[in-house]
Structure 1
């Protein structure tokens, strides 16, 4: 009887944790996965997903402890090696992370999430509030192979459809990107992240009405996610709706005050309004927030061309 109660409690907590993971509610997911582990300390099922939750939360110590505990329970479990891989990935040691994910695949070739994590590591998808950085490995060919391997095992593994969509978006193969992101969205239609990237792809295809509709859905689905608000501002700028875009960015900087790209875009809008002092202030704030090197060059170029007419400034 006691065993049945423990099993039911553990399983229920895990399922609720997985639901919150799908909805990108990482704090709540952490709570329920942690509850499952406290009820059943030797549990392995879904701990690969829990390790990804901790990765997204940047909980390095908790993630390291989880990986160590899982290895002590069963060194031959793919969940343990996925957790260890996420641990190294969080430390930005992507080559070691990849080796650990590959070890998980070797231990169980049908462990679908290990294939997907391999794909993420090959293309080095680092989720930040407003964009994905692609650095170091950037091996799209092998990343695509890993995602396809995952989908051969489970056609409903939306994370791999999403991974393929983001790769194709990065490669500017926008039709392919839209197709794969739609596949992911049809499986998990409540994810604001999927809605947002689908809207970004539609914007790249110059279907701005569809893009705005999808971005609005993303905002409604998760009001805490700043990414769709920023993308909405980008679309509004492309439509020359500068006042509306500026209004979105003014609100966004209150909830995401440390994002350089928000101030950089505000600077570009103020430049178009010929409000040069405000533009320079925003560009300066963007640089103070230490953006990536490529963005630094773009912002400095915009500052140097601040008084040039827009048609002569190719940085905007």
Structure 2
């Protein structure tokens, strides 16, 4: 896709986005309409290939593509039906906007369909749908339902069934009552799902029969059917129908978001991209899904640069870039982008929960306090606002208040992922492991790609000393974040605790490799490196590998990794050939390197290397770590040498080592 559009292409894209706002608004898809409107208003006006600007009142600025290009409905029967039912449709839409979903559904649906369960003697299975037009035999009762829907336009049918679906969601939330209560979770379900699903199955089956209705309905009913199938955990078919929806009408952003939620890996994303038409919406979808899958690669950033040249002021695209930096642990860059967004659009609440997470990690309490005040003044009853305030109280170590606000966020939206995960973190701080596990489980129910919830489950079971369970959840987190060293360190630790030393060693080595992908600052122990042995390695990981080799009775490998741990104090030397200056970039003396030095001193002692053992022990005495053990080892070495072990030459060497360290102190 070209980064610079010709004027006809720009006019076509502008008209398509305008049409998307109208189409989504007419069907009460408010979030999709808002997204399309924001993207439309961030459109770069100067998009001519020759670089010239289009005057606002020029004839080119009024150019619009053909009806086919903006997906205007062509079916004369549908047009006539929509015109005929317009007054009733406006009434139904008004009821929907007032959240009177049952009244909305009852405007167009027959009474027996609108009120309650449809019972069919021979249901049509969705596997048989979409295989071309053919004559199909249908039970009389189902045929009567399909025929009763023929007089309704597809637009009215969508709004009615969507209202029925929303009515079920509303009742489900009302019946769930308190958060994490006995009726919360999988106990309560949307009781309208089966009805809506059966109506749509019947409608699609009738449409595909010989003499049925025109199949081009704009992709809206396909979108609704995909949502219903996804809610019923039939993800394979849901993906199929959502793909059909975006093929027919690609400018419904809600369909792309639902499709993205069904993708678990980057391979699945690649397979989906091959099945959708190459257009600007598919391009944006690829960026969005890559961010959701934590794929913060150079290619994704390049694609984002390309699309931002068309929509340079898009808050959505800037947020995606900030989240990409956030996932790659470049918190300062992500904070800078969010800060700029806050200045340009201070009333925008979307994604402020992610911004508050970044401020929490950076320990920027004043900024987080200001963000909490700003969000509360804008809209205190948004789940994002509640999460911002909850993070503020968490940073102040007021965990009970933090939980109260995360619960408030979930009362507003039970599927708000951030609140479930953050509430789990708070319960861990409060030592309430049962509530923490439930919170994390609800988080992964909402989004299986939330590695923080999987990692939190692993930590909680580790506290309970249920290490096999912890290992399982850590592995799930590591599969989602394969280049995060922290995940692999947790996996390696769990393997060690369940006695699988070889697997633990491999996991820790994977952590060393993963550390080369992140520059997480000096405090983390991981830095940019080209591979193993280049740059600074985390001494803690090296030390743990050495201990696992020791448990495996491989003392030679253990000693090699202890030496490598010790080498991280100095680090690799940067030799400047111009003036032969040498700069050390090591981690310095740490408790971990001191423990490695102690182990090596004892190892050399056991192997008869008294001189090296004495050197290491004296270094420990100078470092001020493991001092008592080091002094005891020095006394043992002196006693053995005085008894004649190692001969007179060894005694002279040990004496020389002691004199050297006495002078240096």
Same fold, TM-score > 0.5, yes or no: yes
Q: Of 132, 141, 145, which aligns to 2:434?
A: 141
Greater Cα shift, 172-181 or 226-235: 226-235
CA distance in 2, matches of 1:72, 1:239: 57
Q: Of 245, 252, 268, which aligns to 2:562?
A: 245
Distance apart, 1:117 and its partner CA: 0.5
Paired residues of 1:22 and 1:191 also in contact (CA < 8 A): no
Matches within 5 A, 1:165-244: 165-223=458-516, 224=519, 225-226=524-525, 229-240=539-550, 241-244=558-561
**Could you report, residue by residue, the CA deviation over 1:173-208 in whole angstroms, capped at 9, with x for unpaired residues?**
222112112222223333332222222222323333
Matches within 5 A, 1:109-124: 109-124=414-429
Partner of 1:12: 317
**Could you report, residue by residue, the CA deviation over 1:105-139 in whole angstroms, capped at 9, with x for unpaired residues?**
22322211101101011112xxxxxxxxxxxx211
CA distance in 1, matches of 2:321, 2:397: 30
Distance of aligned partners of 1:255 and 1:115 in 2 relative to their CA distance in 1, 3 Å threshold: farther
Matches within 5 A, 1:244-263: 244-251=561-568, 256=587, 260-263=591-594
Matches within 5 A, 1:296-307: none
Distance of aligned partners of 1:308 and 1:165 in 2 relative to their CA distance in 1, 3 Å threshold: farther
Q: Of 404, 409, 419, which aligns to 1:99?
A: 404
CA distance in 2, matches of 1:159, 1:96: 22
Partner of 1:78: 383
Partner of 1:42: 347
Distance of aligned partners of 1:100 and 1:252 in 2 relative to their CA distance in 1, 3 Å threshold: farther
TM-score (norm 2): 0.39
Q: Over aligned residue pairs, what C-alpha RMSD do you find?
A: 3.1
CA distance in 2, matches of 1:221, 1:190: 5
Distance apart, 1:251 and its partner CA: 1.5
Whether 2:434 is the aligned partner of 1:152: answer no
Distance of aligned partners of 1:85 and 1:235 in 2 relative to their CA distance in 1, 3 Å threshold: same
Provide the secondary structure at the position in 2 that maps to 1:41.
coil
Higher relative contact order, chain-length normalized (CA < 8 Å, sep 6+): 1
Distance of aligned partners of 1:252 and 1:183 in 2 relative to their CA distance in 1, 3 Å threshold: farther
| Structure 1 gaps, min length 5 | 125-136, 286-298, 310-316
CA distance in 2, matches of 1:158, 1:17: 18
Distance of aligned partners of 1:122 and 1:40 in 2 relative to their CA distance in 1, 3 Å threshold: same
Paired residues of 1:164 and 1:180 also in contact (CA < 8 A): yes
**Could you report, residue by residue, the CA deviation over 1:40-82 in whole angstroms, capped at 9, with x for unpaired residues?**
2222222111111111111111211111111111111121221
Distance of aligned partners of 1:74 and 1:166 in 2 relative to their CA distance in 1, 3 Å threshold: same
Distance apart, 1:15 and its partner CA: 0.9
Partner of 2:394: 89
Distance of aligned partners of 1:266 and 1:88 in 2 relative to their CA distance in 1, 3 Å threshold: farther
Distance of aligned partners of 1:258 and 1:153 in 2 relative to their CA distance in 1, 3 Å threshold: farther
Distance apart, 1:221 and its partner CA: 2.8
Kindly indicate which of the two structures has a greater share of residues assigned to helix.
Answer: 1
Distance of aligned partners of 1:101 and 1:210 in 2 relative to their CA distance in 1, 3 Å threshold: same
Distance of aligned partners of 1:73 and 1:260 in 2 relative to their CA distance in 1, 3 Å threshold: farther
Paired residues of 1:13 and 1:35 also in contact (CA < 8 A): no
**Could you report, residue by residue, the CA deviation over 1:287-316 in whole angstroms, capped at 9, with x for unpaired residues?**
xxxxxxxxxxxx79968976899xxxxxxx
**Could you report, residue by residue, the CA deviation over 1:247-269 in whole angstroms, capped at 9, with x for unpaired residues?**
32441686555965554554455
TM-score (norm 1): 0.76
| Structure 2 gaps, min length 5 | 1-13, 15-39, 44-310, 527-537, 551-557, 571-584, 605-612, 637-665
Distance apart, 1:103 and its partner CA: 2.2
Greater Cα shift, 251-260 or 182-191: 251-260
Distance of aligned partners of 1:267 and 1:115 in 2 relative to their CA distance in 1, 3 Å threshold: same
Provide the secondary structure at the position in 1 that maps to 2:314.
helix
Compare CA radii of gyration and give the structure with the larger one: 2
Greater Cα shift, 66-75 or 262-271: 262-271
Matches within 5 A, 1:20-59: 20-59=325-364
